[in-house]
Amino acid sequence: MCGIIGYVGSQDVAPILIDGLKRLEYRGYDSAGIVIIDKEAQLFRAVGKVSNLEKRIGSHPLVGSLGMAHTRWATHGKPSEPNAHPHADCHGRLFIIHNGIIENFQTLKQDLLDEGHTFRSETDSEVIAHLIEKYYDGNLAEAVRRALARVDGTFGLAVIHKDHLDQAIVARRSSPLILGIGDGEHFFASDVAALVKHTKRVVYLDENEMAVLTPHHFTIGSLDKPDLVHSSSRTVHVDWDITAAEKQGYSHFMLKEIFEQPEAVRNAFRGRLLPAKGTAKLGGLDSVIDRLQAAHRIIIISCGTSYHAGLLGRYVLEELTDLSVEVDLASEFRYRKLNFRYGTVVLGISQSGETADTLAAVREAQTRGALALGLVNVVGSSIARETSAGVYNHAGPEISVASTKSFISQVTILTLISLMLGRLQKLSLRDGKAIITALEKLPSQIETILSNADEILRIAKKFADYKNFLYLGRKYSYPVALEGALKLKEISYLHAEGYAAGEMKHGPIALIDRQLPSICIVPRDSSYPKMVSNIQETKARDGRVIAIATQGDDKLRSILRVEDGTDEIFYIPETLEILSPILSVVPLQLLAYYVADLNGCDIDKPRNLAKSVTVE
Ligand code: F6R
């Protein structure tokens, strides 16, 4: 959740760190800090965004070629300057930056206090600085290892010391840490986005590993063993372009990413469709195809927007295959006493590949004997590496905290998986081909919707002052309703509820009046007649409706009061029912974006949120 960037080399480190912090700010932004060690340690921290840290540094000249910086998302201790990272030991000789949670910090802290250490923050992280100080006898790597052996919990950790101006030490357990390999210099970060400007050669640290970086060398080893070895074979090439992590003229990353969705869908199916055979080929699943074919049950686990994609995956998998499919929130999955028989497949869906709950659920499923697969966007992330096989989204970096293009990409790939498995079962060649034809049309259909973005802006202006919104849909449009509501609430802080339209009469219909607009997702599909009845029930209670409907649906227009401005219809192009969410979600993303913008919200960095949720 928090972001780490660091450097050891010969360049002036300050601009590298500040630039890296800006690229990481989407991960957490309640405070930020930087330390650079030259003759002296130069430590600056500030509450709020990186811009506040820059103000705090002011004209102070930062000198040195060894340093690290952090953006924080608070877990223990409120956002304040003393709680911001980096944290120092008692004498300001060594500094640490920590992502994660130290579960036994109270006990450790008490022991260290009893031994005379002085604490300056309320954080769990600070105990690591004092533990390293306690074990330090000239060998920093060994002190780090001994300190981490005492720690229960999770960490992405970076350590630098005044006595070691050419050395940085990093370690990880359940929190990502990536080395950036340069010439005569090394970088480290929690996130590839902070590195790609400097190098595309990276090494992903594995669980329970640590590394020692010097300008010309790096060594890696297990936290349990004292030997660290150089391992250039671990270096992988990242194909993310730096421009993909920049706004390129858009006012927000979220808007840019919404407009990248035609490309995200194209990238999701590029090279994966076999039109003549009416099926899809997913290379990442080749190694497990026999087990997949033998599977009788799939459990999809994910969080937030990825969970909504999972809900859609269930409909489409059930539609095209004979599999029995369950979807669960990763944070709840772990409490279920599931009986895994041979033939159970667990699919973890995660844009970041680092979401702690999803990662823990995937691990749990694996220990219980399930085949664990991943659907992940960030290459080399923990879920990607810990699952037996999987599929990458290739959606490019998603910087906005609110997911958009990754959702659309996830739903597209879930359709490809369903198509592939369906064709191995009973799905006909004809139906398979029809799905491929419809899939290939999606990018240009999304472009058509995006070309009408001004129409959504007009609607947003009409409704931006409302405080409560209801999102309604049935079947494929139900998860879309959930996703539309999530988008609005997370970036505009307005109350929005997604509901299965059929459930309205069991309670929520009591809420309907002119002050509660209902956003109804009503494409012309198998649930259309029932959805229209729900809209009529809403209208009968004086509710206002914004309908997302299929192009040419005049019947709906005649039910709604569009002409006098009470209601609104936004049309989307016609597609297959199973693909309609990929189109109907786009106007909802735009609506959330414009309403939040009109309300002056900080869209790319909504309060209290972080992009990658690496705590449970
Ligand atoms: C909402 C959003 C979050 C994420 C959730 C899971 O817009 O972005 O709800 O979807 O935190 O994240 P990943 O997909 O990285 O596991």
Confidence of residue 3 (pLDDT cuts 50, 70, 90): confident
**Model pLDDT for residues 13-29, shown as the tens digit of each residue:** 999 999 999 888 766 66
Mean pLDDT of the 574-590 span: 98
Smallest CA separation from ligand 1 atom 7, residue:
402
pLDDT of residue 379: 85
What is the mean predicted confidence (pLDDT) over 105-125? 95
Closest to 383 measured CA to CA, from 306, 311, 320: 306
Asked if residue 29 and residue 133 are part of one domain, the reply reads: yes
Beta carbons of 126 and 159 less than 8 angstroms apart: no
Q: Does residue 246 belong to any structural domain of this protein? A: no
**Which of 305, 359, 392, 393 best tests ligand 1's pocket when mutated (most atoms within 8 Å of CB)?**
305
Residue 131 is assigned to a structural domain of this protein: yes
Check if 331 has its Cβ closer than 6 Å to any atom of ligand 1: no
157 lines ligand 1 (CB under 6 A): no
Segment (H or E) for 392: strand 389-392
Residue 355 Cβ < 6 Å to ligand 1: yes
Of the listed ranges 531-535, 561-565, 577-581, the one predicted with least confidence: 561-565
Q: Give the C-alpha separation, 187 to 193, whole Å.
A: 12
Residue 603 inside a domain? The answer is: no
Number of structural domains found in the chain: 3
Q: Which amino acid is at 256?
A: K
Q: What is the mean pLDDT of residues 346-355?
A: 95
Of 444, 477, 493, the residue at which a domain comes to its end is: 444
d(CA 453, CA 61): 46
Which is the closest atom of ligand 1 to the Cα of 407? Answer: 10
- Amino acid identity of 180? G
Containing 570, the helix (H) or strand (E) segment is strand 568-572
470-499 per-position pLDDT tens digit = 999 999 999 999 999 999 999 999 999 999
Residues sharing a CB contact under 8 Å with residue 42, sequence separation 6 or more, in sequence order: 34, 35, 36, 60, 62, 63, 64
Residues 42 and 159 in one domain: yes
- In this predicted structure, what is the pLDDT of residue 334? 81
Instruction: State the pLDDT at residue 343.
Output: 87
In short, whether 490's Cβ falls inside 6 Å of ligand 1 is yes
257 lines ligand 1 (CB under 6 A): no
Taking the C-alpha atoms of residue 599 and residue 390, their distance in angstroms, rounded to an integer, is 40
Q: Find the helix or strand (DSSP H, E) in which 7 lies.
A: strand 3-8
Residue 301 has pLDDT above 90, yes or no: yes
Give pLDDT, residue 616.
67
Q: 470 and 487 in one domain?
A: yes
- Regarding the beta carbon of 350 and ligand 1, being less than 6 Å apart is answered yes
Residues 402 and 350 in one domain: yes
For residues 292 and 342, state if they share a domain: yes
Residue 2 a catalytic site member:
yes
pLDDT tens digit string along 439-468? 999 999 999 999 999 999 999 999 999 999
Query: Which residues sit opposite 173 in a β-bridge?
Result: 155
- Structural domain contains residue 247: no
pLDDT for 613 equals 67
Q: Specify which residues 472 forms β-bridges with.
A: 499, 520
Element containing residue 218 per DSSP (H, E)? strand 217-222
Please indicate whether residue 352, judged by its CB atom, sits closer than 6 Å to ligand 1: yes
pLDDT tens for 127-175 read: 999 999 999 999 999 999 999 999 999 999 999 999 999 999 999 998 8
- In the chain, % of residues over pLDDT 90: 80
Which of 73, 257, 306 has the most ligand 1 atoms within 8 A of CB, as the residue to mutate? 306
Domain boundary among 238, 264, 279: 238
| Alpha carbon distance 356, 1 (integer Å) | 10
Q: Is 611 one of the catalytic residues?
A: yes
Q: State which amino acid sits at residue 190.
A: S
Is 563 within the bounds of a domain?
yes
User: 537 in helix, strand or coil?
Assistant: helix
Question: What is the Å distance from ligand 1's center to 540 Cα?
Answer: 37
Q: What is the mean pLDDT of residues 62-78?
A: 87
Does any domain span residue 198? Answer: yes
Give the model's pLDDT for residue 335.
85
Residue 43 pLDDT more than 90? yes
Residue 381 near ligand 1, beta carbon < 6 Å:
no
Statement: residue 297 has pLDDT above 80? yes
Judge whether 119 and 109 are in contact, CB under 8 Å. yes
CATH number of the structural domain spanning residue 208: 3.60.20.10
Residues 501 and 403 in one domain: no
Average pLDDT, the chain: 93
Q: Catalytic residue among 2, 303, 520, 601, which?
A: 2
**Residues 437 and 458 occupy one common structural domain:** no
- Does residue 439 share a domain with residue 496? no
**pLDDT tens digit sequence for 381-438:** 889 999 999 999 999 889 899 999 999 999 999 999 999 999 999 999 999 999 999 9
303 lines ligand 1 (CB under 6 A): yes
Both 439 and 457 in one domain: the answer is no
pLDDT at 1: 61
Ligand 1 atom at shortest distance from the alpha carbon of 612: 15
613 Cβ closer than 6 Å to some ligand 1 atom: yes
For residue 615, the model assigns a pLDDT of 62
Cis amide prior to 86 (ω within 30 degrees)? yes
Query: How many whole angstroms from 146 Cα to the centroid of ligand 1?
Result: 35
Residue 173 shares a structural domain with residue 311: no
Q: How far is the CA of 62 from the centre of ligand 1 (A)?
A: 36
Written as six digits, the tokens of 301 are 């686990």
- Gap from CA of 306 to ligand 1 centroid (Å): 6
**At 570, which CATH number?**
3.40.50.10490
Is 373 among the domain residues? Answer: yes
Q: Tell me: the pLDDT tens digits for 419-432? A: 999 999 999 999 99
- Looking at the structure, tell me whether residues 436 and 463 fall in a common domain: no
Strand arrangement of the beta sheet that strand 495-500 belongs to: 495-500, 468-473, 518-522, 545-550, 568-572
pTM of the model: 0.83
Q: CA of 609: how far to CAs of 28, 69, 153, 402, 592, in Å?
A: 7, 20, 22, 9, 16
pLDDT per residue over 186-235, tens digit each?
A: 999 998 888 989 999 999 999 899 999 999 999 999 999 878 888 778 89
The dihedrals phi and psi of 119, each to the nearest 5 degrees, come to -100, 145
Q: Are residues 193 and 58 in the same domain?
A: yes
In sequence order, the β-bridge partners of residue 471 are: 498, 519
Give Cα 82 distance to the centre of its chain.
28
Print the domain residue range for 320: 253-444
User: Residue 242 pLDDT more than 70?
Assistant: no
Q: How far is the CA of 613 from the centre of ligand 1 (A)?
A: 8
Residue among 351, 377, 401 to mutate when testing ligand 1 (max atoms within 8 A of CB): 351
Measured from the CA of 302, which atom of ligand 1 is nearest?
16
Q: How far does residue 305's CA lie from ligand 1's centre (Å)?
A: 5
Decide: 191 in ligand 1 pocket, CB within 6 A: no
Q: Which ligand 1 atom sits nearest the alpha carbon of residue 305? A: 10
Residue 612: pLDDT band with limits 50, 70, 90: low
For residue 517, tell me if it sits in a domain: yes
Crossing angle for the helix pair 105-114 and 126-135, nearest 10 degrees? Answer: 50
